[in-house]
Chains A and B, each alone.
Chain A
Amino acid sequence: MPTKVLAFAGSPRRHGNSETLLDWVLASMGDDPDVTIEKIALTEANISPCRGCNACEKLNKCIQRDGMDIIHDKIIDADCILISSPIFCLGLCAQVKALVDRAQVFRSRKYVLKLPVVPPGRKGKRLGVFLASAGQKWDYVFDAAVPSIKCFYHVTDVRDADISYLMINGIDEKGAIESHPTAKADAQKLGKAVIAELKKRLAA
């Protein structure tokens, strides 16, 4: 059985700093022949914001028909879900926030309808990775993004302790991450560590 990795490149700017960081992690994961990787660029994924209608609390599905129709199933199938986002105005970019808010259907399933999000056997065997880049150097620049990301993983049955973070501040212009002293090595190390941990859990 291949280990399935699903990655969301959240930035509206293709191949910028946060997506490069994501690519480094994915490349090191892909060194393992048993790993299948799918990357989705949110700017091309056609995900509308949540309408707040709460229909999913009754229907167990979203009333909107858009890119989330396919992504919903991919989120359930994945063993590891990665999200990368640039920090805009001290938060996730709007594209990532739309993805996070549309995970409301999983929250309804879990807490209102009391149905499983993933089959019981896969619980505790899913890992999450959040990658971010920020132009500002402030050390608190990521603080407001993390709680929303935790919500996404919580409702998709990735435990809080199973989320890894690699967040790089002080990089602004396109390509600036390339000259960061540690980002690439840290990303590669993270990719390897996540796959090793996953294989251990999936074999158990």
Chain B
Amino acid sequence: MNQQEWQKIDAIIDTALELEGDKRTAFIDEQCKGDEELKTQVTELLESIENSDTENFLEGSAPYPKHLAADLAKTEDKPQESSLIGATIDSYRILELVGHGGMASVFLAERADEVYKGKVALKLMRQGMDTPSNKARFKRERNILANLEHPNIARLLDGGVTDKGLPYLVMEYVDGTPLYTYCDEHNLTIEQRLDLFKSICQAVQYAHKNAVIHRDLKPANILVKEDGTVKVLDFGIAKLLEPEDPDETLFQTRTGARMLTLGYAAPEQINNDPITTSTDIYSLGVVLYELLAAASPFNMEGKNLSEIESLIRTKTPEKPSSKYGELSQLKQDKAASQRVANPDKISRKLKGDLDAIVMKTLRKNPDARYSSVDQLLQDLDRLNNNLPLIARKDTIRYKISKFLKRHKTGISAAAGFILLLAGFAGFHTWQITEERNRAQEEAQKARTTLDYLIGVFQHANPNRPGNQDITAQQILEQGTEYIQTKVKDQPDIKAPLTQSIGMIYLHLGEYDKAETLLREALTLNKKFASKESRQWAASLNSWGEYNMEIGKYDTAKKYFKKSAAVYNSLGNKNKYASIIGELGWIDYRNGDYERADSLLRKALEINRTVHGSESRQAGTDLQYLGWIKNAQGQYDKADSLFREALSIRKSALGENHRLVAQTLQSLGRTLYNKNDYAKAEEIERQALDLQQRIYDQDHPDIATSLRILGLINMRQEEFPKAKTYFEDALDMRLNFLGEHHPDVLKTQNDLGSIHFFEGNYMKAADLFKQVVASNKEVRGPDHPEVATSLNNLAMSLRKADRKDEAIEYYKEALEIGRKNYSEEHPKLIQFQRNTAILYEELNEYQKASALWLQNFNVLKQKNGLNNSDAKEALNHLITCHRKLGNAEKVDKYNSILAQTDN
């Protein structure tokens, strides 16, 4: 809008705001006579003014970004802390800042006077220790801690108070990895995790015997060194910093509780009840829970402080096995593979004994937990020997089942009979507990629903400023809850609501939540909606979109097809064309280029009629068609398709649009494929610059441009530069897409290539082996990308002089290549050339010559006799036949060679 246009609107609005009802309408009609656009703008703005008023938009205390404002303070600390680097505190020289927590900063330091050699960790507190009594107590406690000597406890070496009154502690510096990261990175099995956990317990047990309670056990305080030794940090530090007299304000007691990492805090810590050794047992339980089930006992996401506190105080967590079973399939698979098992096996292992042990540590009442860490350790040991656990001592049925397991053979019929009776009694007790739990759950749900409704009413009530600090996230969550409870018997309402919330989650990238809801909407619609309705089509489409987002292209395809059919029969050309386009894109991803091409041409035709040939939609279809031609190796065609898409997109969307950058990116890629590296790099940099201007943070599109720039540099043998591009791209992609996304595999493949070019052949082969395996799993065994990764693997093995292994992989690559590519596809020619060379090296000239002949014929046809590749094939052909003693063939090909230049 420009100023003149606005002044016109502004003048009308000013008067209109003074008028009401019909008078207003009449006034606007008269003022805007003959100018429909002006009228629309005026009406829309008036509507928005009213809406903004009813919704209290930008008013009240809630919308002010106060959390952001509060965050300022924390950020401002950092420069101060880092300015300490190089400084000396008493006799310690500060080397670098290694951590930054709520209460303290941790530095890597060394002794300036070299009395103690080696590095130490220096923890500098934020808060002062002003009073003499506090200082004295600090010293006293410090001496107790300094006496803790255990292989799994990081030692406290020294401590004091700086001249500014800030207390500091000097501890053994542990160069290790946080517990969970270590376990996941090293793919530790459940048993190995339990072994590590036992070492942690032993450390805690030792401290308890010396009257020290940790008070803040959490994975960040548990490090594992590269040799597998566990070190627990920060024993008793929380206590050390607490003032004796709460009124002496180091921080208020209440705040003190909040300083804890809530995820691991026991109910008594939230309630400000006395802290005992049992508090540590609870935190240990949370750690064990996460080690086993790959999830924390409570879902704290999107909840505010008081809600989290109430969860910890009142909600009985689910058993680890149930929690694990409720994770999304993706998460279950990931966790299982990190534990070197499959999901079924994990569930089986957790069910029963491990569930019971964990649940006993997590009891709300400290007295109901294990009475000591020793007891917990005993139970963990009993696990291995099938002895009855303390955690399950109450149930007779359990004891007998343990007995049976121990004496698998020789159980008499009489024992079986006893089991039946005892088992029945056990079942009865179990049922009662279960029913009580259920009743509690129902009560909880009803409360949440009520809360949700109150929240919604408060928001809808214009007389009430939005002082109820409710986030979109919470509304979505509670909305979900509301649907599940309040309209559960009204599928006609429930289905569209569930689907809408599901789609919002999908667009927010919250795939787990989206999955649950969209699946449910689909099930409901399947049962209740007409199979010719828009609702059914939309539901099918949503489920397709979800599967597309998570990379399950086959499932997505199935649902898109069904949805397209319904939209088509409803005559909705627009939707139909867009889904056809998506289907084409999936076929393209799956490597079915012919079908992709025909689908997209169809979509292009419809879109040109519906939206016009210069439309955004036509631009998209052209873009996809360009990708297909690029993949088919028809780079000239791809080049011109992209240029056409580029000019349409620039005029339809403006120069600075994300999709313009996308087309530039693709054009760069095609130029790269045409070996025009200088031009490719120039265009690709344009794409990257544009993207970095458009997105102010990491973005998948940026990752793609970085990757292509890496490829261009790799081809020009700028390996270190290429490596940096690839590593940046891989970082971003892992971040956005997770481990098993096809794009991540591609980038891993790139990095493997760099290793190859730098001469690290076995390192490259290891990476490529992974890529082959994941590729087969993600894309199916016959996907062209599998062939590419096989080819790379074979190349590396050949270079590492493992030729017998290499040839097998080449053969496999060729087989897949032939299924996917025409005989003149550059990739196939490449595969054949590589295989033929290796056959020669293995003295298998017959096989080599057959491949060279195929290549020669295709290359001659395509590029003429004088093409250097054709000539290379011809020369090899002659060599092979000479080795085989086929004088006739040698002469024949020599005479062809004579027809070429030079």
Is A bound to B? no
Q: Residues on B close to A: CB < 8 A? A: none
Q: Residues on A close to B: CB < 8 A? A: none
